[in-house]
Structure 1
Amino acid sequence: MDPKTAIKYPGVTSIVGMLPKPFLVWWAARMAAETAVENLAAVTAIAKSDPTGAIDYLKNAHARYTKARAKVGSEAHDLFERMIRGEAIGRVHPDLEPYRVLFAEFLDVVRPVLVRAEDIAWSDTFEYAGSFDAILRVQLGVDGKPDHVNGEWHTLIVDWKTSKSTYPDVALQMSAYAHADKIIAPDGTAEDMPEFDGAAVLHITPDAWEFLPVRIEGEVFEVFLTLRKVFKWDRDLSKRVIGRAIASGVRRLVTGTQRRA
């Protein structure tokens, strides 16, 4: 929501969420099956006294996993922002230590210059908004690799990902940010969104990191705008396409067979 106008637009993540994801059904089923096999004795014990509780425990396995991963991801994002802003980092939780070490290595290898971090990308033109991770300046050679001597400076919209893999829909997310009209800071001030030379995602896990280029040009953005229309259909237009009945009726005849049933 723009604090100056009180206008509310849907979030980029919610719009990208309009993509069909049938694989999630199978993933959730697998999580339930794995939880049952790995905790067979406990599940059996629970089921003897509380069958419903055992069912709930298994069917919510994927939700518990997602919640735990989201917590780690949120804490890692906070750590990355503090590190890239130059804050001295002391001891961190053991779960975050691998991320701290690898993000420090990324900073050393790529040497990014922070332009903005964790601000709002806002589009009045297409009516959406979302919080991006960072805008960075990086010096790259003709091969697209870091070159701190002869490389040209590139302005990139950047996203941190701590999931197991980097998924294609990150391109839709970042294309939306890059094509927004303006940036809104926490204090409510706004400025035009800068021109970007490209986008990149830092995929970082406890074991490794990769800084990957991401396509955000027109074709990708057109897909995002299509999803924006689908979002409007789902949340608004679909609720207004069926009108009141032109005519209606109810079944009045009750047969003898129905009376005797």
Structure 2
Amino acid sequence: MGGVKTLTRGGSRLYIDPDDAGIKVPGVTSIVGMLPKDFLTFWAAKESAEAAVDNWDIVSQLIKRDPAGAIDYLKNAHRRKSKAASDLGSSAHDLFERLARGDYINPRHVHADVKPHVAWFKEFLDEVQPEFLYLEETVWSDTHQYAGSFDAIARIDGDVAVLDWKTSRSVYDSVALQLSAYRHADRIILEETGESIPVPEMAGGAVLHVRPEGWQFVPVECGPKVHEAFLALRSVYDWEKGGKRGVVGRAVARGGEQQTGTERRAA
């Protein structure tokens, strides 16, 4: 039967119910994405400015030959930076999963940029000794209509916790919302068989934060109160994806010279 299929629509990842293809629910990451991200505006501007300063010789020549191309190059600087980080993170995650499953990884087949991450993950396994119960599976919430894919559920020092691997510069507080969604879902849909099993009782969550210079294992609060905040974002998601459509009606009375665009064109 297999696991859960997904599709992307309107910039959101949707999970398709394996028992009823007509049921599609938003992914945890897309729901958490409803958080305001004002800091990204300043980050994107900084990346464009740095790209202009660091590559001025190239940019100045490009301006002479193709001004529009120069603008595209600079305005997309943050996307190039983000994609590079995303590609590294994806490569590291794939290797982490293989290591967690006990696979042997030939160091000669590991990209130089990811080799430090692999070494630190091995050290984490040796020092913390997690007992992995589930790896890279999908959770589904029938109660609140969402789904998501977690990195691991493991038993550590007798306690069961949901884990997330991060290779980003920092551990951001939004990860608490993400882990709470996994922890409080109703069931796990197993990739290999498509079978649904209950999400196990968990003591909490944690992030394994792996950077080129080292690693740290960070506990994350993901209890009921955090899940309430996640569910508020779930409502915001519905609002943004269709709930707000049509809430502002047509004027039933008007005075002065205010006209709609249609009325101006007709005139």
Normalising by structure 1, we get a TM-score of 0.88
- Residue by residue over 1:196-236, the C-alpha shift from the partner in whole angstroms, topping out at 9 and shown as x without a partner, is 01100001011110100000111111110111111111101
1:56, distance to aligned residue in structure 2 (A)? 0.5
Name the residue aligned to 1:113: 131
Aligned to 2:116: 98
Q: Partners in 1 of 2:138 and 2:250 — Cα distance?
A: 41
Q: CA RMSD in A?
A: 1.6
Runs of 4+ in 1 over 3 A off after TM superposition: 243-251
Between the two proteins, the alignment pairs up a number of residues equal to 239
1:21 aligns with 2:27: no
Structure 1 residue 46 corresponds to structure 2 residue 62: yes
TM-score by length of 2: 0.86
CA distance in 1, matches of 2:248, 2:142: 29
Does structure 1 residue 63 correspond to structure 2 residue 63?
no
* Alignment partners' CA distance in 1, 2:256 and 2:24: 43
Identity of aligned residues (%): 53
| Counterpart residue identity of residue 77, structure 2 | A
The residue number in structure 2 matching 1:35 is: 51
Q: Is the 8 A contact 1:4 1:188 kept in 2?
A: no
Partner SS state of residue 24, structure 2: coil
Deviation (angstroms), 1:239: 0.8
C-alpha distance in structure 2 between counterparts of 1:8 and 1:137, whole Å: 31
Is the counterpart of residue 125 in structure 1 residue 146 in structure 2? no
TM-superposed CA distance for 1:245, in Å, is 5.2
Equivalent position of 1:11 in the other structure: 27
Distance in 2 between residues matched to 1:81 and 1:212, nearest whole Å: 19
Look up the equivalent residue of 2:167 and give its one-letter code.
T
Matches within 5 A, 1:1-261: 1-6=16-21, 7-91=23-107, 92-139=110-157, 153-186=158-191, 187-244=193-250, 246=252
- Structure 1: stretches of 5+ with no match in the other structure: 140-152, 252-261
Consecutive unaligned residues in structure 2, runs of 5 or more: 1-15, 258-267
Deviations 1:99-158 (A, max 9, x none): 11000000001010111011111001011111111001111xxxxxxxxxxxxx010000
1:46 & 1:100 partners in 2: Cα distance? Answer: 40
Residue type of the partner of 1:4?
D
SS at 1:125 equivalent: coil
Q: Would you say the 8 A contact 1:2–1:188 is kept in 2?
A: no
